[in-house]
A and B are shown apart, each in its own frame.
Chain A
């Protein structure tokens, strides 16, 4: 009768070398599980109120499922409800008196989460199914590649999302080890904001040693001026936007009421090392007759020069020239739409306004964004990334690399926040009215992230398939066949790397 052995795939040679040859042996080679873990972009995870199963409504008539990309949910809660900024804020942040609370929402997933597919946008499922059903050929001899998804609370600080992902990586490894007996590391695939989350898990939350490598798609590595554009003017201003991206709102008030109140939204803004496609640090301009009369950030700090500046969109009366800083990121009036300023009210209205801390809260959220940006992309250093990284940058779609506000004469002062637009009003020294009109995107990228940011992790001499730039739109990037083919090659490259790492070969 044969003596039975179970041997890890990478120890077979060693085992055979020391084997007794006078006996019959039966060896079962244990394959290594390398879970492929997909991490979605902002808005790509379904969120619910904790303590609920995501069904039904709360006392305010709001759904316990607070964010879903399902057509039915969007129809009921965003489109049919024609949600304005106040309702959107209530859905994702809380009542007007509530500030951002990281525990306000959680991922709507099963307990335990299983493969995690339920918690993420359905549009991703096709790509994940493709990965799951892919025949990995000779790699199957040594490895099994189960596919998981990890959704996260995208309204929260990316640092918390990174910590959450690191914990899930541990759990997925543990679970996979129970099945195959051998699992030490995962491969991460990220979409958009998921890139920041995966880099945080790897480089800040201590998970680097449990990751074979990270495959990033359309990541705003140094941020996206498009996020500024949308805060001022709303979504839908670009081509190639899917339903999900449109869902945050088609004007500045709707978008600011949400993104201005959540650290996760602010972490998509350009950071201190962001450069335009022309390799310039100034990405915000005010132009007159084609000439830039203002270029920001002048000192390389968008936080001090743009984000912490209150956007005052109308000039003060009789102040000529007016000093109002309409280019600031956030109009304080839009942060908490149900808490207006107290002019014209009574003493109780003044007390209410005194208690409103929307701007202070915004500054606190901004501080979280700055801290993350400084850690992931420190000034005068290369951006932090996992040693085994591959990146895909989307091109071929008009994107914002430089924000241009073009000064035009203004006879009738109208709405500063039309749908998909923004106008900042000001007066010159003679008291004449002008408006600075936000221009449409005109540069190369994926429709959201300009290539200069998407490609900021590119590194020479990566192993095949290498870092690539493909004609792909931002939101549906992983639905694109070219991107899917590249991602499969990238996974193959990562698994081969793992093979050589274990066999100590090159």
Chain B
């Protein structure tokens, strides 16, 4: 199965008089789908649901992982048919790692447990693994497929894209919350204090309310100059989240670049944000 699909969308670029055609790669991560311009490519991603870390790895990854774990493995529990699993020790932690081949991916789950609670961890991880389906039409997306379960109170995702020919870095992260996070990226006081301490200055380029994926958030663009360091720009969009609602997690989108990469970051930013949409739960 092809892991990604490509679409071409008409996206208006910031600062441009007309609309340019920007090729966007659609990436489903967690409960959202994001259009990613060609200027950047994925550098890392991770997902957690019900406190279980879950990923879709390429075929062969499990064998390499077992070699890596080696003597740390303490047991090999029998889980569902087709599921391979090991318990291993990392310092004082007891960690369960299990995988199942699904389509062209090895779906892997990782969860630790206190002594005596191994069965609970196996059941929870097994449930998450069993809820995996290929395709990202719905559910909690982890790459080529999704976990059709939940939403959970403990979900988080994080994905980073970087520019191949620029200093642009964009990070998209979500995290379920017990109460809205009204502090992160809601002002620039902390940043201003830091700039002052470092003998530099901070300029606010943009600060406004902005709705993304139907969620009312706050967008702030700043430029910061510290003596002896390359000037940096940072764009943020923050949605505070709704307490104990898995489909409305806190969302942070953070784009950074050296001052020379500002125009590229602006283009990437203005292509990505309007493209973000929620993925149906079921």
Contact = CB atoms under 8 A, between A and B. Distances in A.
Q: Do A and B come from one complex?
A: yes
Given A75-B224, A82-B236, 6 more contacts: A59-B45, A61-B44, A81-B254, A243-B198, A348-B128, A354-B120
Contacts of B210: none
A341 B178 CA distance: 8
Contacts of A242: 197
A466 interface: no
Nearest to A345: B153
A477 B206 CA distance: 40
Contacts of A349: 50, 152-154
A230 to B, nearest CB: 16
Nearest to A87: B173
Interface centre among B113, B153, B171, B185 (most CB of A within 10 A): B153
A101 interface: yes
A71 B190 contact: no
Interface stretch (A23-31, A276-284, A355-363): A355-363
B42 to A, nearest CB: 10
A195 B159 CA distance: 41
A28 B143 CA distance: 72
A208 interface: no
A59 B198 contact: no
A333 B95 CA distance: 23
Contacts of B256: 76, 80
Contacts of A102: 91
Interface in A342-375: 342-346, 348-349, 351-352, 354-357, 360
Contacts of A345: 152-153, 244
Contact of A79 (B48, B117, B154, B190): B190
A95 interface: yes
Nearest to A79: B194
A76 B229 CA distance: 12
Nearest to A99: B93
Given A95-B48, A243-B198, A61 B160 contact: yes
15 contacts: A59-B45, A60-B44, A76-B256, A80-B256, A97-B51, A97-B112, A101-B90, A101-B93, A246-B193, A340-B177, A344-B153, A345-B152, A345-B244, A351-B123, A355-B117
A262 B120 CA distance: 26
Given A74-B194, A98-B93, A352-B152, A61 B43 contact: yes
A404 interface: no
Given A95-B53, A101-B92, A82 B190 contact: yes
A272 B280 CA distance: 56
Nearest to A354: B120
B181 A84 contact: yes
Interface in B72-96: 90-93, 95
Interface string B126-167: 011000000000000000000001101110101110000000
B154 A71 contact: no
Interface string B223-243: 010101100101010000000
A58 B156 CA distance: 17
A179 to B, nearest CB: 35
Given A82-B190, A354-B117, A57 B254 contact: no
Contacts of A243: 194, 197-198
B244 A343 contact: yes
A74 B224 CA distance: 13
Given A61-B44, A351-B123, A75 B158 contact: no
B44 A352 contact: no
B263 interface: no
B65 interface: no
B110 A97 contact: yes
Interface of B: 43-46, 48, 50-53, 90-93, 95, 110-114, 117, 120-121, 123-124, 127-128, 149-150, 152-154, 156, 158-160, 171, 175-178, 181, 183-185, 190-191, 193-194, 197-198, 224, 226, 228-229, 232, 234, 236, 244, 254, 256
Given A79-B194, A338-B156, A348 B50 contact: yes
A348 B156 contact: no
Given A58-B44, A338-B175, A340-B176, A355 B112 contact: yes
A57 B44 contact: yes
B111 A97 contact: yes
A79 B95 CA distance: 33
B190 A352 contact: no
Contacts of B51: 96-97, 338-339, 352, 355-356
B50 A351 contact: yes
Nearest to B115: A357
Contacts of A343: 244
A356 B112 CA distance: 9
Contacts of B117: 354-355
Interface string A226-247: 0000000000100000110010
Contacts of B177: 340
A251 B153 CA distance: 23
Contacts of B181: 84
A211 interface: no
B96 to A, nearest CB: 10
Contacts of B112: 97-99, 355
Nearest to B198: A71
B171 A339 contact: no
A352 B91 CA distance: 21
Interface in A400-424: 419
Nearest to A338: B156
Contacts of A104: 91
A103 interface: yes
A86 interface: yes
Given A58-B44, A96-B48, A355-B51, A346 B150 contact: yes
A429 interface: no
Contact of A355 (B92, B111, B149, B229): B111
Nearest to B93: A99
A250 interface: yes
A460 interface: no
A348 B124 contact: yes
A339 B51 CA distance: 7
Contacts of A354: 117, 120
Contacts of B254: 80-82
B143 to A, nearest CB: 13
B85 to A, nearest CB: 16
Contacts of B91: 99, 101-104
A263 to B, nearest CB: 12
Nearest to B152: A349
Contacts of B123: 351
A242 B152 CA distance: 40
A360 B112 CA distance: 14
A355 B114 contact: yes
Contacts of B90: 98, 101
A339 B49 CA distance: 10
A458 to B, nearest CB: 33
Interface centre among A58, A60, A346 (most CB of B within 10 A): A60
Contact of A57 (B111, B149, B160): B160
